Every structure is written in structure tokens, then in C-alpha cells.
């Protein structure tokens, strides 16, 4: 019972961190969109509490993206497609990070965090790109033409996701050692609490 209560409290804390980071991070723009500052707490929560926690934290991230107005340009074009894309990309990034972490953790915790840190932005961006393809290509073609870019694909990579993805990936890679330390400390604390 105590472990379940601690997990709920921990998820509540990580959810709050994810929401606050997304709402404040929405002001930091590289190109059209803000960078995702929330992947590190999603990875930590997913590593500590599992795949369900990763999905929940990713979903909370998606909801915060919708609330922050960061997806406003897409909401104006296709509200249903936007909600599906934004919620799915967040939830799947959390699930994938948790699954990768759990698969590698017993062999090498640093490699598990590093791989989860790479996986989260790849899945987040990949699902976003699939959502663009499924729901927004006519509009993206118009945006590309208005920007003077000859192809929508080039516009998506150079104008919409390229810089953001590289920044998100770099942040996760740099934070990997810090994330490992945080996970180690929190897991030690969990074990001590379970022994009481």
C-alpha cells in the first residue's frame, strides 16, 4: 500500500514538473515551434515507475502542449488531427522511453538512460511527422510555397522540426548522466522506504 501511495505521489510530482516545463518552455521558440523541455522528467518517471507511467507523463505533456497554444496553427487547420497527433506523440514517446529503459536497465543503467534519451525525441518527432503526413499535408504544402521552399518535405525538416529535434536530442544526451544519478538516488530512496 505504501509503495502504491509513493508511486501516485511521485507521478503527481512528475506530472506537475512536465506541465510546468511545457507551459514555460512554450515561450522558447526555435523556428515555428518551441523545443520540448519535458522529455527528461518523462524519462525519469518512466524509468522509476514503468511503461504506464511513461504513457501517463507523455499524455500529460501532450495535454500541456494543447493548453499552451503551441499547437495553435495546427488546431486552426484540423482540430481532431491535432489532438490525435499531439496526445499520441507524447504518450508513445513516454511508452517507448520506458520500454527501452526497462529492456536495457539490468545490463547497463547509463546505456538504458542514454538509449531512452535518444528514443523519446525520435518517437516524439516521428509521430509528429506521421501526423503531419496524415492530417496536414495540403496546409504544409501551402506553408512551404509561402516560405519559398520548393518541397513540403524540405520545409518540414528545415523549417518545422530540424533544429528543434537536434536541440531536444542534445539536451537529452547532455542530461543523461544527471538523469542516471537522479534515478539512482530515487531508487535508493524507494528501497529504503520499502524496508521501513
Q: How far is CA 18 from CA 44, 63, 129, 132, 169, in A?
A: 11, 10, 22, 24, 17
What does the pLDDT look like over 41-81, one tens digit per residue? 998 899 889 999 999 999 999 999 999 888 998 999 999 99
Give me the pLDDT at residue 195, please.
74
CB distance 39 to 121 below 8 Å: yes
Give me the pLDDT at residue 122, please.
94
Give me the pLDDT at residue 181, please.
81
Is residue 25's pLDDT more than 80? no
Q: Is 194 part of any domain?
A: no
Q: Is 43 part of any domain?
A: yes
- The CATH code of the domain that includes 102 is 1.10.1760.20
What does the pLDDT look like over 167-176, one tens digit per residue? 888 887 887 7
What does the pLDDT look like over 139-157, one tens digit per residue? 999 999 998 988 988 998 8
Residue 85 half-sphere exposure toward CB, CA atoms < 13 A:
23
Instruction: List Cβ neighbours of 3 (8 Å cut-off, separation of 6 or more).
Output: 190, 193, 194
Task: Indicate the pTM of the whole model.
Answer: 0.86
Q: Is 108 part of any domain?
A: yes
Tell me how many domains the chain contains: 1
Residue with the three cell numbers 509513493: 6
Q: By C-alpha distance, which of 64, 7, 71, 10 is closest to 37? A: 64
Taking residues 166-190, what's their average pLDDT?
80
Q: Is 193 part of any domain?
A: no
- The mean pLDDT value of the chain amounts to 88
| Boundaries of domain holding 166 | 2-188
What does the pLDDT look like over 106-130, one tens digit per residue? 999 889 988 998 999 999 999 999 9
Q: Is 18 part of any domain?
A: yes
Taking residues 92-109, what's their average pLDDT?
95
Q: Is 155 part of any domain?
A: yes
pLDDT band, very low/low/confident/very high, at 32 (cuts 50, 70, 90): low
pLDDT band, very low/low/confident/very high, at 31 (cuts 50, 70, 90): low
Q: Is 37 part of any domain?
A: yes
Amino acid at each position: 500500500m505504501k509503495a502504491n501511495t509513493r508511486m501516485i505521489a511521485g507521478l503527481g510530482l512528475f506530472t506537475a514538473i512536465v506541465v510546468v516545463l511545457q507551459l514555460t518552455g512554450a515561450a522558447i521558440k526555435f523556428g515555428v515551434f518551441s523545443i520540448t523541455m519535458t522529455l527528461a522528467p518523462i524519462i525519469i518517471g518512466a524509468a522509476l515507475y514503468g511503461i504506464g507511467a511513461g504513457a501517463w507523463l507523455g499524455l500529460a505533456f501532450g495535454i500541456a502542449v494543447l493548453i499552451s497554444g503551441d499547437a495553435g496553427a495546427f488546431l486552426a487547420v484540423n482540430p481532431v488531427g491535432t489532438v490525435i497527433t499531439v496526445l499520441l506523440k507524447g504518450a508513445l514517446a513516454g511508452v517507448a522511453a520506458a520500454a527501452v529503459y526497462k529492456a536495457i536497465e539490468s545490463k547497463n543503467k547509463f546505456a538504458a538512460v542514454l538509449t531512452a534519451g535518444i528514443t523519446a525525441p525520435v518517437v516524439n518527432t516521428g509521430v509528429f511527422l506521421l501526423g503531419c503526413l496524415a492530417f496536414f499535408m495540403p496546409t504544409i504544402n501551402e506553408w512551404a510555397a509561402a516560405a519559398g521552399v520548393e518541397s513540403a518535405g524540405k520545409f518540414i525538416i528545415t523549417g518545422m522540426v530540424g533544429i528543434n529535434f537536434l536541440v531536444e536530442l542534445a539536451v537529452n544526451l547532455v542530461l543523461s548522466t544527471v538523469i542516471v544519478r537522479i534515478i539512482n538516488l530515487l531508487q535508493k530512496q524507494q528501497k529504503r522506504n520499502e524496508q521501513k
